[in-house]
Amino acid sequence: MCGRARCTLRADDIPRACHRNDGPIRHVNMDRYRPSYNVGPGMNFPVVRRDDGSNTDGAGIVLHCMKWGLIPSFTKKSDKPDFFKMFNARSESVCEKASFRRLLPKSRCLVAVEGFYEWKKDVSKKQPYYIHFKDGRPLVFAALYDSWENSEGEKLHTFTILTTSASSTFQWLHDRMPVILGDKGSIDAWLNGSKTDMLLKPYENPDLVWYPVTPAIGKLSFEGPECVKEVPLKTQEKNSISKFFSTRKVEKEQESNMEQSVCDESVKTNLLNNLKEEPRSIDDTLASLTDKDHDLKSNVPVPSLGDVGKSQVKRDYDELLADTKPSKDEIETSPARKKGNIKGGGDKQPTLFSYFGKK
């Protein structure tokens, strides 16, 4: 589609841009023309059409300033004109719709601009682009015009720009584009009423270029050279093919990174579980044992010096008592045997009596 354009051409340059400089040119309402970097529907716009008045041979040309946005002549006089409803006409259906079909024989015109704007739709925003010829020459669009009279008797001339499917190099930006008449032959054929089959087609020549401009162009109040100043893109992607393949590459990298992330998370989880099950280090173990030993020692009562002495005397007395008390075997044996046992050297543990007997 085409909803915004730049037309800062001088009035005299417009017919020359349309290759109409070999005959008389009549001006109509050109006092309303205001050159602008940001022209939209409802604004005054000069068009070139054939003179269907005094010149019966049709050789005359009219430079006529009209409103952009077609208002069909059969519109009710009491209706409020809506210039945004039909500012474009699909070339595929102009021969079918009543609003356009009746205009094809004698109401064709040309629109000359230095460039037009189109918006690239992204997920969250729209980025405008300025489209123009590489060498700076004006673009010429195929258009249709009509006249309508309101309830006050005022006659209003309006026009619509024809659009077609986008060219192969323009599809990344938009699926529609204006019908561009790129040479004198196609311009003559359109104005002379030739068949539209070979005229209303996408412009495929490589001299049509574009670049991004400020989103402020979306407001009709925004005006001036800033409208066509190139701005850098945040993504730094200007080529549709590279953008397509880079998007595919990013998707593959994201899938790979997701798989790697899942794997890393699994390894991390297993590592944490193993660390929880591992025994403590030697230093930690020694420290723990030292703490336990300290606790045990702190729980055992420490005897005093008096208690130690009493314990030693009691231990000596118990040993003496055990040595002096005869065992059951000694009581049952004869005195001679007992004496022999005492004197024998086979005892490994001599009694206290034998010890003192030697002394």
Active-site residue list: 2, 118
- Among residues 107, 115, 125, 18, the alpha carbon closest in space to that of 66 is found at 107
Q: Between vectors from CA 45 to CA 39 and to CA 46, what angle results, nearest 5°?
A: 140
> Cα–Cα distance between 269 and 288 in angstroms, integer?
28
Q: Which residues of 317-350 are buried (b: 16+ CB within 10 A; e: fewer)?
A: eeeeeeeeeeeeeeeeeeeeeeeeeeeeeeeeee
> Which residues fall within 8 angstroms of residue 107, CB to CB, at 6 or more apart?
49, 144, 145, 146
> Cα–Cα distance between 352 and 341 in angstroms, integer?
14
* Rounded (to 5) percent helix, strand, coil in the chain: 35, 25, 40
- Among residues 81, 84, 183, the alpha carbon closest in space to that of 142 is found at 183
> Cα–Cα distance between 246 and 78 in angstroms, integer?
55
Q: What's the token pair of residue 98?
A: 């009543």
Q: Under a CB-based contact definition with an 8 Å cutoff, are residues 30 and 7 in contact?
A: no
Q: How many CB atoms lie within 10 A of CB 142?
A: 27
Ranges assigned E (strand) in 4-91: 4-7, 25-28, 36-39, 44-50, 61-68, 88-90
Output the CA torsion 329→334→337→342 (10° steps).
60
> Cα–Cα distance between 269 and 82 in angstroms, integer?
66
> Cα–Cα distance between 154 and 188 in angstroms, integer?
32
Q: Is 156 helix (H, G, I), strand (E, B) or coil?
A: strand
